[in-house]
Amino acid sequence: MTAPSLLIENALVLADPCSGEPPEAADILLEGTTISEISAGIQVPADCQRLNAQGLLAIPGLINAHFHSPGNLLKGLLPGLPLELFMLYEVPPLAQALPDPRSTRIATLLGAAEMLRNGITSVMDDAYHVPSVTPDNVDAMAQAYADIGIRATLAIDQPNRIEYEKYPFLSELLPPGMRAQMEAAPRQSDTELTEINEYLIGRWHKHDQGRIGAAVSCSAPHRVTDDYLQALNSLSRKHDIPFNMHILETRAQRVYGDIALGKSLVEFAHDRGILHERSVVIHAIWVDEHDISLLARANAMMAHNPICNLRLGSGIAPWQLWENAGLRVCLGSDEALSDDRINMFDVMKMTGLIHTLETDDWNRWPSAERILEMALHGGAEALGRGYDLGRLAPGYQADIVLLDLDDLAFTPLNHVQRQLVYCENGRSVRHVFVAGTLVVKDGRLTKIDEEALKEEAREIRRKQHADSSGNTEVAALAPHYQEMLKKAYAQLRFDGSRGRASRS
């Protein structure tokens, strides 16, 4: 259903926060899902809907370019742990129970609610399913996003190799009984996973006037079979959709490439032809200069998640080297368990802070405008929407956030771009439009019952706590994963001052 015309009056409009230009007083006319005009004193019919934005700053909706919604019910659950241990608890490799569609829906809504209230209007959800993915759960997730009103691109992040094959040294460290358990654990075939990706694309891609879309994901190139990797690549090419892949997030992954593949995971991906302009390469912390040259040659998009990288001790991504190579970059929060807040203002600020450590040439530190460019233009390109998201301009989608300039974050207003990056934390968000529809009004969600959502989320977690049957298996596996990490870390010496490493 097309939204009616609406005039946002008397706003201070920051049409392209990346340009460095100051905001200007203007009205914004919305026609259906798009912006039709931005100028001062727009004349409209008397019966046109109006919203008085006096004292409010209008910016493009923020874009969360990397996220995993199944973690939405788990925020704050785990202490800081390396990824390999973190995932052992989050995605138990011996899990048997299928995810419940109702729980999937509630988890998805909970994260979407937090994002919308923090001014995030678009998300790339690289969703994992434990232990397997079903059409019912895909539908539950997509319908939840459709119902709450956010713009979402969904991918199915589902490894299908045996657990111990994804890590260095793990196979030799596990007792035979544990290896046998992993071999018997549920894994979906190449054919089954390809079919469910085709289902996602056929059922949901470009749904609801394009607000819901599809992407593909291999989780990581070494976590799936070669045949499934190529099937995903074919789907990405055929439908011109993003291809998500985690590559070289951790030291252990660098070591895995060395000992299991004889090459880095970037080289592995390059050799299999999956690096191209639709590739969204996630994390890429432990890349070397040759890896970066391959990524640049492919024009791949880098999904940078600086808070998650620190939360899990993965390291500091070499952003300065990415910049030198001309790589495209978008920003993401990653999941609610490895960031714990789904807040792109946090992510932007951390991006501005952490990369001052990479060089003592302060002229090369990321500017507020460059950070906003990664968050908005980079995010739009990652979603395949560089043509109609990330700016406020005629013909662009009416994804608009209105911020209260009377908030302390903007008092006094000295430099709006810097204050968006370093001062704002989402508290100033008053109204949010997605595709021309007002989905947050005066800080409250308009399309769902937020109180009922929160209560049901609490009840689901109470039931999950009561059923802790997987804890015994995880406790038994943990010492072997810890030993695997110690062996991997012995291969690379960590330099804590840079969050990087060198060969021992």
Read off the DSSP letter of residue 325: T
Return d(Cα 277, Cα 236) in angstroms, integer: 11
Mean pLDDT of the chain: 95
Q: Which pair of tokens denotes residue 291?
A: 């890896």
pLDDT in tens, 70-118: 999 999 999 999 999 999 999 999 887 878 999 999 999 999 999 999 9
Strand order in the sheet with 151-156: 62-67, 120-127, 151-156, 212-214
Q: What percent of the chain has pLDDT over 90?
A: 92
**Residue 329 bridge partners (DSSP):** 302
Domains of the chain from N-terminus onward: 1-60+390-447 (2.30.40.10), 62-389 (3.20.20.140)
- In this structure, what are the phi and psi dihedrals at residue 101, rounded to the nearest 5 degrees? -55, -35
pLDDT of residue 4: 62
Question: How sure is the predictor about 473, in pLDDT bands with cuts at 50, 70 and 90?
Answer: confident
pLDDT in tens, 259-305: 999 999 999 999 999 999 999 999 999 999 999 999 999 999 999 99
Residues 228/218, Cβ–Cβ less than 8 Å: yes
Q: Which residue has the tokens 């007083």?
A: 25
pLDDT of residue 496: 53
Give the amino acid at 186: P
pLDDT of residue 495: 60
pTM of the model: 0.96
pLDDT in tens, 326-346: 999 999 999 999 999 999 999
Return d(Cα 303, Cα 63) in angstroms, integer: 12
pLDDT in tens, 399-434: 999 999 999 999 999 999 999 999 999 999 999 999
Question: How sure is the predictor about 470, in pLDDT bands with cuts at 50, 70 and 90?
Answer: low
pLDDT in tens, 124-167: 999 999 999 999 999 999 999 999 999 999 999 999 999 999 99
What value does the mean pLDDT take over residues 365-385? 98
What value does the mean pLDDT take over residues 464-470? 65
Q: What percent of the chain has pLDDT over 70?
A: 96
Q: How many CA atoms lie within 13 A of 454 on its CB side?
A: 6
Rounded to 10°, the helix 83-90/471-489 angle is 170
Question: What is the full DSSP assignment across 332-346?
Answer: ----TTTTSS--HHH
pLDDT in tens, 214-256: 999 999 999 999 999 999 999 999 999 999 999 999 999 999 9
Return d(Cα 500, Cα 176) in angstroms, integer: 35
Question: How sure is the predictor about 471, in pLDDT bands with cuts at 50, 70 and 90?
Answer: confident
Q: How many CA atoms lie within 13 A of 356 on its CB side?
A: 7
Residues 88/477, Cβ–Cβ less than 8 Å: yes
| Residue 497 pLDDT > 60 | no
